[in-house]
């Protein structure tokens, strides 16, 4: 009786071991592997390709070239970085965002891709001398201000409209021949720092006047550039832009010609910790120390 029970136990044990072995063998067989799903396909951000260091063509993750990829690294072109908008690209390159829309044939100016390459000089321009040759344009025709005090002109987002013809900047012998003036009367609280402030902080009271530092035209008026609050950008010629930030009220609109000393805004504290005017002068998009160009006080 005992021997029979032992033999039965051995048979059961061998059956269990045999089944386990078959199960392990089946799991190791390639035919029975579960399919692998790549959850990252199509979900990663476009490749960032810095200008001058890219391969022949910048491509998206799906293998298609990004817009303008064939121009990566060329003079007169700009590679879009994370956080860029057309307004910021215009400020960084010294151009009107509406011109960028036109030159690049953009259907929606609110949508640009990281790694996309944008033309930032007019077609046909000799980029070797762009922004350094004299301006020979027609006389400026001023227009009355349409904006009422207290109303902020233009929204932050660039509207998807066809660029309009604007009044040209006044003729001058050379782009550096500009009669600058101080844009506000208050004391300077922060001096220029190329790595941080990129301009001057001029303090005052809310509502103090902000003046155009030179003749020019408005290429942006709104609040769409992070860190600048209610902002006005003036283009004075092919070389110089000025920026006036943190205003409480904007008194000009895009494409409007303005004169040196004209009141264009009222000082405020939008996107700032105190009432101040943040004032920048940019030469070919690069911030320079305004104190070196403004007259002595």
Which helix (H) or strand (E) segment is 264 a member of?
strand 263-266
Tell me what pLDDT residue 249 has: 98
pLDDT at 162 over 50: no
Of the segments 59-63, 102-106, 136-140, which one has the largest average pLDDT value? 102-106
Helix locations, the chain, DSSP H = 2-28, 86-93, 97-104
Question: Average of pLDDT values for 206-225?
Answer: 96
Q: What is the pTM of this model?
A: 0.63
HSE, side-chain direction, 13 A CA sphere, residue 150: 0
Other CB atoms within a 10 A radius of the CB of residue 271 amount to: 16
Q: Is the pLDDT of residue 141 over 80?
A: no
In 3D space, the residue among 271, 278, 91 whose CA is nearest the CA of residue 190 turns out to be 278
- Where does the pLDDT of residue 67 fall: very low under 50, low under 70, confident under 90, or very high at 90 and above? confident
Q: Per mean pLDDT, which of 44-48, 116-120, 179-183, 194-198 is the most reliable? A: 179-183
Q: Which CATH architecture has domain 131-297?
A: Distorted Sandwich (2.70)
Domain range annotation of the chain: 44-126, 131-297
Q: What are phi and psi of 110, to 5 degrees?
A: -85, -5
Task: Identify the band that residue 143 occupies on the pLDDT scale cut at 50, 70 and 90.
Answer: very low
Fold for 44-126, please state it.
Answer: Membrane-bound Lytic Murein Transglycosylase D; Chain A (3.10.350)
């Amino acid at each position: 009786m005992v021997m029979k029970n032992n033999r039965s136990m051995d048979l059961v044990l061998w059956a269990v071991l045999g089944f386990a072995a078959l199960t392990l063998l089946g799991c190791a067989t390639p035919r029975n592997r579960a399919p692998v799903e790549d959850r990252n396909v199509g979900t990663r951000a476009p490749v960032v390709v810095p200008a001058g260091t890219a391969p022949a063509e910048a491509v998206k993750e799906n293998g298609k070239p990004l817009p303008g990829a064939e121009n990566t690294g060329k003079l007169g072109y700009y590679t879009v970085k994370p956080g860029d908008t057309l307004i910021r690209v215009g400020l960084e390159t010294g151009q009107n965002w509406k011109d960028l829309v036109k030159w690049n044939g953009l259907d929606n100016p609110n949508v640009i891709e990281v790694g996309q390459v944008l033309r930032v000089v007019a077609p046909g321009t000799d980029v070797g001398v762009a922004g350094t040759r004299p301006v020979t344009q027609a006389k400026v025709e001023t227009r009355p201000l349409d904006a009422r005090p207290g109303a902020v002109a233009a929204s932050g987002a660039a509207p998807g409209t066809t660029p309009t013809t604007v009044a040209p900047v006044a003729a001058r012998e050379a782009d550096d021949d500009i009669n600058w003036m101080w844009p506000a009367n208050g004391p300077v609280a922060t001096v220029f720092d190329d790595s941080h402030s990129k301009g001057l902080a001029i303090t005052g009271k809310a509502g103090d006047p902000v003046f155009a530092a030179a003749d020019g035209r408005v290429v942006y008026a709104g609040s769409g550039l992070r860190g600048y609050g209610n902002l006005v950008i003036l283009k004075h010629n092919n070389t110089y832009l000025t920026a006036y930030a943190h205003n409480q009220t904007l008194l000009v609109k895009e494409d409007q010609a303005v004169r040196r000393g004209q009141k264009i805004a009222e000082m405020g504290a939008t996107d700032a910790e105190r009432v101040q005017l943040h004032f920048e002068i940019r030469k070919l998009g690069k911030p320079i120390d305004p104190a070196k160009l403004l007259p002595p006080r």
